[in-house]
Amino acid sequence: MRRIDWRQLDAAQRARALLRPAQQAGAETATAVARLIEDVRARGDAALRELTARFDGAELDDLVVSAAEFASASAALSPALRDAIDEAAARIEHFHQAGMAAPYAVDTAPGVRCERMLRPIRRVGLYVPAGSAPLPSTALMLALPARLAGCRDVVLCTPPRADGSADPAVLHAASRCGVRRVFKLGGVQAIAAMAFGTDAVPACDKLFGPGNAYVTEAKRQVAMTDGGAAIDMPAGPSEVLVIADGGANPAFVAADLLSQAEHGADSQVLLLSDDDALLDAVALQLEQQLATLPRAEVARRALQASSLVRVDSLQEAFAISNDYAPEHLILALRDARAWLPQVQAAGSVFLGDWAPEALGDYCSGTNHVLPTGGAARFCGGLSVASFQVAITVQEVQPHGLAAIGPCAVELASAEGLDAHRLAVALRLQELAA
Amino acid sequence: MRRIDWRQLDAAQRARALLRPAQQAGAETATAVARLIEDVRARGDAALRELTARFDGAELDDLVVSAAEFASASAALSPALRDAIDEAAARIEHFHQAGMAAPYAVDTAPGVRCERMLRPIRRVGLYVPAGSAPLPSTALMLALPARLAGCRDVVLCTPPRADGSADPAVLHAASRCGVRRVFKLGGVQAIAAMAFGTDAVPACDKLFGPGNAYVTEAKRQVAMTDGGAAIDMPAGPSEVLVIADGGANPAFVAADLLSQAEHGADSQVLLLSDDDALLDAVALQLEQQLATLPRAEVARRALQASSLVRVDSLQEAFAISNDYAPEHLILALRDARAWLPQVQAAGSVFLGDWAPEALGDYCSGTNHVLPTGGAARFCGGLSVASFQVAITVQEVQPHGLAAIGPCAVELASAEGLDAHRLAVALRLQELAA
C-alpha cells in the first residue's frame, strides 16, 4: 500500500492520488455485452438456455425455481445460517420501514389542494450475483425494500450452480421476503431478460442490484435504450475510506481495510490519518492479517491501487473525503459523532471503533447497495423510495381557480403560451357567467 | 386527430396506438452533440463564446449576468408579472417544503443505532430553456427546491437574447429564489459547461431542467461519461392523457389538449372516454379553438400524432393510462377523487373540471418538471429530494456489537468473505478478553 504525505503533494498530484481505477467498460466489453443483449432480445428463452450452458456450465430445461426447490433449499441450510438470515432480515426491515416516505396534502390556497401520493413500481427485477460465492445478504437488501414499497410483481435472477440448482441460502432469503418468482439466470443474459422480457421472464420497469463489470455494463446499456428498464444506480467496484486518529485500534482499522479489499482486485481502500504512528501500526497489521487470509491474493492486488495518507489535520481528512465521496466511510475517531456534521458526501458512515463496515453489509439494518465511483456526490443507497414513484395531484374547486387562475394567465402570457392561457381563461369566464 | 375505437383493436394495434414518437436522438444528432461537448471540454470559454455567437446570435464578452443586469431586470418587468412570479413562488415553496424528507434514527438492536441523514448536493446546475419564449416558471421549479434542499453552490444557465441580455423575467425568478450565479448560455454548450466546468463556469455534480432534443441528448451523454454530472431524469416531449366521462365540459377538455399540443410538434395528447357524444363535442371544440390560436400550426402537427379513443369503460381507460404512464393525467370525471386509487403511474394528476393542467405548469404549487416518455413507470417529478443525498449512519456500542456481531460472522462465513468475518471476530475477541 502506497504511503502518501498529503502536505507534500501539489494540486495535480492530489487529484491523481484520489483517482479511481477507470469505471467504464472498454469498447470490447461494451460490444460483447451489446451482442449478448441483442441475442436475448432476438431469440428469447433459447438464447437464455444456451448462454447459461456456456457461462454457468448448467444445462437447464426450466429456468424458473420450482416450489419443490424452494422447500428443499430452506431445509438444506444449517439452523444457524437460517437464523442469521432471518435475524438480519428483521433488522433491515425495521430500519427501512422507519424511513418510508408518507403521502401528504396541503392547501396551497383556499380551494386548491396539492398532494403527493406514492405507488409501488409495478414490475421490478432484482439481480443477486454469485461471483466468488452466492450472496444471500444481497437478496435481503433488494427484496425487503421492494416488499415494503408494496411491489406486487417482483422477479429475482441469480446464476445457477453447475448442477443446475440455485443457491439454497439465496432462495431462503428470497422466500423470507415473499419473492417466489426466481430465475436461474446470471450475468448479461439475466439483465437483458428482465429488461426486455422473454416468454419465461417478464419485462420489468426497473432493475436493481450489484454485479461484475459485464452486469454493470449491461445495466448501463438497457437503461440507455428506448423502452428499456430503468436501473437503481451506476455501480462500480466497492470502496472504503477510513479516517482514523491516534487513538484508533490498528488491528481493527487493518481488518476493515482488508474486508473491503477482499471484494475484488479493483476495490479501492484509503486510510487518512493525522498520526504517523497509527499509519505505521496499520501497515504492520495489514501484513500480519494478510498472511492468514484465504483471499489474500485478491486483497493484495486491491491494496496496490490503495493508499495510506498522512494528513495535516482531521479537518483536512474530511475535506478530502467529501471530494472523494466514498461508498463506505469509517470514522475511527474519539467522539466520532461530533465529527458527523462534517460529512457531506458518502454512501454509509460507520461511527467509532465498534462499527466494522461488515455490520452494514449484513445486519445493522442499513442497505448495502450503495453509490460507488463518486456517485455519493449525487445519490444515496437503496431505500424503499427506490421502489416507489411519487405522483403529485391537484384538486381545484371553482373558488380555488378564481383565486389562482389569474396568476397562471399572467405567466402563460409572459411565456407566449396562448393555449395555456386559454385553458384557464375559459374556465374563469364560465365562473364569471 | 385520429378517432380510435379501442374495442375494435387487437393487441398489436393497441400497442401501436400508444406508441410514442421515437424519443432517442438519431445518430446524426448524437454525433453533432458529442462534437460540441468535446469542443467545450477542449477549448473552454473560447468555445462557449463562439457557440453562443453561432447559435444565439449574441457576441458576449462576459458570460455571467452582472449585478447591474439583475437590478435592471426586476425593474423592467410589469408589476403584474413581478407579482405573478412572486405569488407562484410562494405556493411552489409551500408545497415543496411540506414534502421534505426528515432525518431519522432507530435502534435496530440495543447499542445499535441506525440513521439516515440528508445533505444538499454540493454543486447543482439548472438549465432554463428559451425555445419559443423564455420560461421564468421553469426557473422557479428548479431553483426553489434547490434552495429548500440547502444547496449552496447553484448555477443557472439560460440562452441570451440576440442583444446579449438575459430574459428579465427569468432573472427576476432566479433572484427571487436566491440564485445569483447566472450564465448566458444555452443548448449543448450550457450542459457541457456545467457538466465539466470551464474557467468561467464551475463543474456541477448534477444537472436539472428541460430542453429541446439537443439539450436532452447532451444531458444523456454527460450522464454516461465517467466523471460527468448526474442528471435529473430522462426528458422528452411533453404529453397529456385525459380521461373524460359524459359529464365533462368539451370546451375545457379541448383547451387542455391544446395547451399540451402547443408545446411542440412532437408533443402527444390522448383523450379516453366511454362517451361518443363527448368525443364528438371535443373534436368540434378543437377545431373552433384552433382557429384562434397563435401557435395553431404547432398544435395541429402535434394533434396529427394524437388520438381520441373510445373505451368500453372508465376502468379500461385507467388500465390504458397506467400502461402509458403519462406525464400529465387529467381526470375530467364526476367524483374524480373516487377514481384516484386507480392511478398507478403518472407524473402529475389533475382532478375534476376546474384543474386545468396549466395550473400545475405555473402556480398550483406542484413541480412542472415531470417524467415523460413513459418514465413515470419508474420515477416521479422533481422534488426537494432530487437535490439531496441520503446518507445512512450506524453507531455501534460494544454491547451492540456483542449482540449483532455473531449474525454478521455467520453470514460472512456463508458468503466466503473471510476478511469480513475477521473484522467482526477480532472485535468480539477483544470484547471477550
pLDDT tens digits, B338-375: 999 999 999 999 999 999 999 999 999 999 999 999 99
**Ranges under pLDDT 50 in chain A:** none
Q: Say if A424 falls within a structural domain.
A: yes
Quick one: closest CA in A to B367, which residue?
A392
* DSSP state letters, A351-368: ESTT--HHHHHHTSSS-S
Q: Is the pLDDT of residue B249 over 80?
A: yes
Q: For chain A, how far is it from start to end, CA to CA, in angstroms?
A: 80
pLDDT at B286: 94
pLDDT at B433: 87
Q: Does A114 touch chain B (CB under 8 A)?
A: yes
pLDDT at B133: 77
Contacts 24+ apart (CB under 8 A), A174-177: A174/A128, A174/A139, A174/A143, A175/A70, A175/A73, A175/A74, A176/A85, A176/A86, A176/A89, A176/A140, A177/A89, A177/A139, A177/A140, A177/A143, A177/A144, A177/A146, A177/A147
Q: Does the annotation list B104 as a binding residue?
A: no
Q: Does A117 touch chain B (CB under 8 A)?
A: yes
Q: Does A426 touch chain B (CB under 8 A)?
A: yes
If asked whether residues B76 and B209 sit together in one domain, one would say yes
| Subunit contact B378:A347, Cβ cutoff 8 A | no
**Per this entry, what is the length of chain B?**
433
If asked whether residues B269 and B401 sit together in one domain, one would say no
Q: Does B108 touch chain A (CB under 8 A)?
A: yes
Residues of chain B neighbouring A169 (CB-CB closer than 8 A) = 414
> Does the annotation count B399 as an active-site position?
no
| SS3 of residue A300 by DSSP | helix
Nearest chain B CA: its distance from A79 CA (Å)? 11
pLDDT at B97: 98
pLDDT at A242: 98
Q: Which three cell numbers mark B347?
A: 407524473
Nearest chain B CA: its distance from A121 CA (Å)? 6
Quick one: closest CA in B to A140, which residue?
B411
Instruction: Judge residue A60's burial from the number of C-beta atoms within 10 Å of its C-beta, 0-12 exposed, 13-18 middle, 19 or more buried.
Output: middle
Q: What is the pLDDT of residues B56-103, one digit of tens each?
A: 999 999 999 999 999 999 999 999 999 999 999 999 999 999 999 999
Q: What value, to the nearest 5°, has the Cα angle with vertex A276 and ends A270 and A277?
A: 110
If asked whether residues B152 and B218 sit together in one domain, one would say yes
Q: Which three cell numbers mark B5?
A: 375505437
Please, which residues have CB within 8 angstroms of residue A393's CB and are 6 or more apart in sequence? Answer: A114, A115, A116, A117, B340, B348, B349, B350, B351, B366
If asked whether residues B326 and B409 sit together in one domain, one would say no
- Name the B residues in 34-63 with CB < 8 Å from any A CB: none
Q: What is the pLDDT of residues B132-179, one digit of tens each?
A: 778 999 999 999 999 999 999 999 999 999 999 999 999 999 999 999
Q: Say if B5 falls within a structural domain.
A: no
Rounded Cα–Cα distance for residues A327 and B392 (Å) = 11
Q: Say if B14 falls within a structural domain.
A: no
Nearest chain B CA: its distance from A9 CA (Å)? 22
Quick one: closest CA in A to B224, which residue?
A220
Q: Say if B21 falls within a structural domain.
A: no
| Subunit contact B356:A117, Cβ cutoff 8 A | no
If asked whether residues A165 and A278 sit together in one domain, one would say no
Q: Percent of chain B scored above 90 by pLDDT?
A: 86
Domain boundary among A180, A215, A231: A231
pLDDT at B24: 65
Q: What is the pLDDT of residues B178-193, one digit of tens each?
A: 999 999 999 999 999 9
If asked whether residues B293 and B358 sit together in one domain, one would say yes
> Does the annotation count B328 as an active-site position?
yes
Phi, psi of A199 (to 5 degrees): -60, -40
- Residue B17 pLDDT grade (very low, low, confident, very high; cuts 50, 70, 90): confident
pLDDT at A305: 81
Q: Percent of chain A scored above 70 by pLDDT?
A: 99
| Subunit contact B95:A80, Cβ cutoff 8 A | no
Q: Does A109 touch chain B (CB under 8 A)?
A: yes
Q: Does B230 touch chain A (CB under 8 A)?
A: yes
| SS3 of residue A433 by DSSP | coil
pLDDT at A24: 65
Q: Does A81 touch chain B (CB under 8 A)?
A: yes
If asked whether residues A250 and A304 sit together in one domain, one would say yes
pLDDT at A309: 96
Q: Say if A381 falls within a structural domain.
A: no
| SS3 of residue B380 by DSSP | coil
| Subunit contact A117:B395, Cβ cutoff 8 A | no
The tally of CA atoms less than 13 A away on the side-chain side of residue A173 is 32
- Name the A residues in 333-372 with CB < 8 Å from any B CB: 336-337, 340, 343-367
- Domains held by chain B: number: 3
- State the CATH number of the domain containing residue B416: 1.20.5.1300
Q: Does B318 touch chain A (CB under 8 A)?
A: no
Q: What is the pLDDT of residues A264-303, one digit of tens each?
A: 888 889 999 999 999 999 999 999 999 988 888 888 888 8
Option in A337, A377, A421 nearest B122 (CB):
A377
Rounded Cα–Cα distance for residues A92 and A137 (Å) = 10
Q: Does A104 touch chain B (CB under 8 A)?
A: yes
If asked whether residues B182 and B317 sit together in one domain, one would say no
If asked whether residues B222 and B81 sit together in one domain, one would say yes
Domain boundary among B183, B216, B231: B231
Contact B95, A422 (CB under 8 A): no
Option in B87, B133, B356 nearest A424 (CB):
B356
Q: What is the pLDDT of residues B281-300, one digit of tens each?
A: 999 999 999 998 888 888 88
If asked whether residues A265 and A204 sit together in one domain, one would say no
The tally of CA atoms less than 13 A away on the side-chain side of residue B135 is 27
Q: Say if A385 falls within a structural domain.
A: no
Q: Say if A425 falls within a structural domain.
A: yes
pLDDT at B22: 67
Residues of chain A neighbouring B397 (CB-CB closer than 8 A) = 354
**Three-state secondary structure string covering A90-132:** HHHHHHHHHCCCCCEEEEEECCEEEEEEEEECCEEEEECCCCC
- Quote ipTM for the complex: 0.96
Q: Say if B19 falls within a structural domain.
A: no
If asked whether residues B358 and B423 sit together in one domain, one would say no
Rg of chain B (C-alpha set): 25
Q: Which three cell numbers mark B175?
A: 433572484
Testing the interface with A: which of B104, B232, B306, B410 to mutate, by most A Cβ within 10 A?
B410
- State the CATH number of the domain containing residue B165: 3.40.50.1980
Q: What is the pLDDT of residues B302-349, one digit of tens each?
A: 888 889 999 999 999 999 999 999 999 999 999 999 999 999 999 999
Domain range enclosing B252: 236-380
| Subunit contact B108:A101, Cβ cutoff 8 A | no
Q: Does B394 touch chain A (CB under 8 A)?
A: yes
- The catalytic residues of A are 327-328
Nearest chain B CA: its distance from A162 CA (Å)? 17
| Subunit contact B121:A377, Cβ cutoff 8 A | yes
- Name the B residues in 288-317 with CB < 8 Å from any A CB: 289, 292-295, 299
Domain boundary among B231, B249, B270: B231
If asked whether residues A354 and A289 sit together in one domain, one would say yes
Q: Does B98 touch chain A (CB under 8 A)?
A: yes
| Subunit contact A392:B252, Cβ cutoff 8 A | no
Q: What is the pLDDT of residues A319-352, one digit of tens each?
A: 999 999 999 999 999 999 999 999 999 999 999 9
| Subunit contact A394:B136, Cβ cutoff 8 A | no
